[in-house]
Amino acid sequence: MAVRSEAALLLIQAIRHIAQPLDAWAPDYDAVIEHIGDARFVLLGEATHGTHEFYQERARITERLIVERGFTAVALEADWPDAYRVNRYVRGEGADQGAEESLRDFKRFPSWMWRNAAVLDFVGWLREFNLTAPQQQRAGVYGLDLYSLFSSIEEVVRYLDRVDAPAAARARERYACFDHFNEDSQAYGYAATTGLEDSCEREVVAQLVELQKAAGAYASRDGNLAEDEYFFAEQNARLAKNAEEYYRSMFHGRISSWNLRDRHMADTLDALVQHLGRRRPDPKIVVWAHNSHLGNAGATEMGRRGELNVGQLMKTRFGESARLIGFTTHDGTVTAASEWDGPAELKRVQPSLPGSIERVLHETDIPRFFLDLRGHRRALDAFQHPYLERAIGVIYRPETERMSHYFETRLLDQFDSVIHIDRTRAVEPLERS
């Protein structure tokens, strides 16, 4: 058994005293809901992109926020057009006949992030809730990410085909700038950055500006539905502009592209607030994304490198109206790939490293619990000092665990609270591999 320092023992004892245990089968999230209070933005993280419990528990919390606190939007670390198909389904507006069908646009690697059993159950629940809820209380699903350059272009043209044929022709002409890259976004970014091809920056900006100038005419054609469809198209045009810049920035270094991506996600949240606020003042939004996007980057070594993230931007913009809730685990299994664009694999999660937050939480011997950091800063003072924290994305390389998956953080400044599930299992993809 490892020898613990006196400070470590005191911290573990403090956590045992403060922690709110959670039952595995029917967790009581009253403490979480009370902690959230009247916040308008609840950012629910995950320590991996492939853990069943993270998706399941986020769904349970989100359901309560929708039913009890009037939240009307769930924003995902997912592509805008793919998520909007789900939005149409849960609001009873799409052509899809079931929840699984509504998730079929999530084809891009890693499809298991959103095509999994837990998300399927949540989408089904949300559809049923909306069918009986008053119009003002119905909740939608939206994507925040910007990888969908080519599918967003297709959606802009498809929208204009319906509302303005001459404008659609102009859009096709502008977007033809990308045609000879065979929908390979990184090939475009490399060619434009190295001077092999001219960039398409001017074209995507011009298309967004033209669409925005016609907003009044397009959005007023048929009440709320027309306004929603215009908003969907405008966001796709904005995404095409930002994605074009993002894929060029990839070849200037990680910090530049990371910051552009997270600013885009935060700005999409702002646009969503403005859109939803036209019908209901001060709309409330739940965000599902990785801890690395939702924990305040200013408290981590990411911040020391010059990286920012959605959690930091939301805290800066909305202060205490934004709650940042992280998820952690000690060991178990995870769905992940060994390399980018590789197949989904069932992988064993290594026990957390000594000196990590996960190891401290594991040594409390409480299988699942909620830890309110904001309300117990004095008792948890040790977390003001740097600890290691694990982050597993869509790729997991246990053979290089320390280098590939750990970073330093000051937990008290990174999150408002944490939910720890000591042993977790891999998320179940809808496609078997």
- What are the tens digits of pLDDT across the range 392-417? 999 999 999 999 999 999 999 999 99
291 located within any domain: yes
Q: Which uninterrupted H or E stretch holds 107?
A: none
**Of 205, 231, 253, which residue constitutes the final position of a domain?**
253
Cα separations (Å) of 326 from 199, 293, 416? 39, 10, 8
For residues 320 and 352, membership in a common domain is answered with yes
**Of 253, 274, 296, which residue constitutes the final position of a domain?**
253
The confidence band for 1, taking pLDDT boundaries of 50, 70 and 90, is very low
Q: Which residues contact 250 (CB under 8 A, 6 or more apart)?
A: 186, 189, 193, 257
Task: Please tell me the predicted confidence (pLDDT) of residue 226.
Answer: 83
For residues 141 and 288, membership in a common domain is answered with yes
For residues 294 and 308, membership in a common domain is answered with yes
218 located within any domain: yes
Interval 252-277: pLDDT, tens: 767 789 999 999 999 999 999 999 99
Interval 307-344: pLDDT, tens: 999 999 999 999 999 999 999 999 999 999 999 999 99
Rounded CA-CA distance 293/296 in Å is 8
268 located within any domain: no
For residues 81 and 203, membership in a common domain is answered with no
Q: Which residues contact 65 (CB under 8 A, 6 or more apart)?
A: 33, 36, 42, 71, 284, 286
For residues 46 and 138, membership in a common domain is answered with yes
The confidence band for 2, taking pLDDT boundaries of 50, 70 and 90, is low
Q: Does residue 218 or residue 3 have the better pLDDT?
A: 218
For residues 133 and 27, membership in a common domain is answered with yes
For residues 140 and 194, membership in a common domain is answered with no
> Would you say residue 354 has pLDDT above 50?
yes
Nearest Cα to Cα of residue 157 among 263, 236, 69, 259? 236
Interval 177-210: pLDDT, tens: 999 898 889 899 999 888 888 899 999 999 999 9
**Of 234, 253, 272, which residue constitutes the final position of a domain?**
253
For residues 309 and 407, membership in a common domain is answered with yes
The confidence band for 224, taking pLDDT boundaries of 50, 70 and 90, is low
User: 157 lies in which domain range?
Assistant: 147-253
Nearest Cα to Cα of residue 390 among 365, 425, 359? 359
Tally of structural domains, the chain: 2
* Side chain identity at residue 19, one-letter code: A
264 located within any domain: no
Task: Please tell me the predicted confidence (pLDDT) of residue 218.
Answer: 85
CATH number reported for the structural domain that contains residue 131 in this entry: 3.40.1660.10
> Would you say residue 5 has pLDDT above 80?
no
Residue 297 sits at the vertex; the CA angle it makes with 292 and 303, to the nearest 5 degrees, is 120
Structure token digits, residue 123? 């989408």
Task: Please tell me the predicted confidence (pLDDT) of residue 311.
Answer: 98
Task: Please tell me the predicted confidence (pLDDT) of residue 222.
Answer: 65
Residue pair 37/67 in contact by the 8 Å Cβ criterion: no
272 located within any domain: no
Q: Does residue 219 or residue 69 have the better pLDDT?
A: 69
Average pLDDT over the chain reads 94
pLDDT average, residue stretch 168-174: 97
Rounded CA-CA distance 336/338 in Å is 7
For residues 82 and 130, membership in a common domain is answered with yes
277 located within any domain: no
For residues 315 and 291, membership in a common domain is answered with yes
357 located within any domain: yes
273 located within any domain: no
For residues 81 and 166, membership in a common domain is answered with no
For residues 48 and 130, membership in a common domain is answered with yes
Rounded CA-CA distance 203/405 in Å is 39
Residue pair 123/86 in contact by the 8 Å Cβ criterion: yes
Residue pair 337/349 in contact by the 8 Å Cβ criterion: no
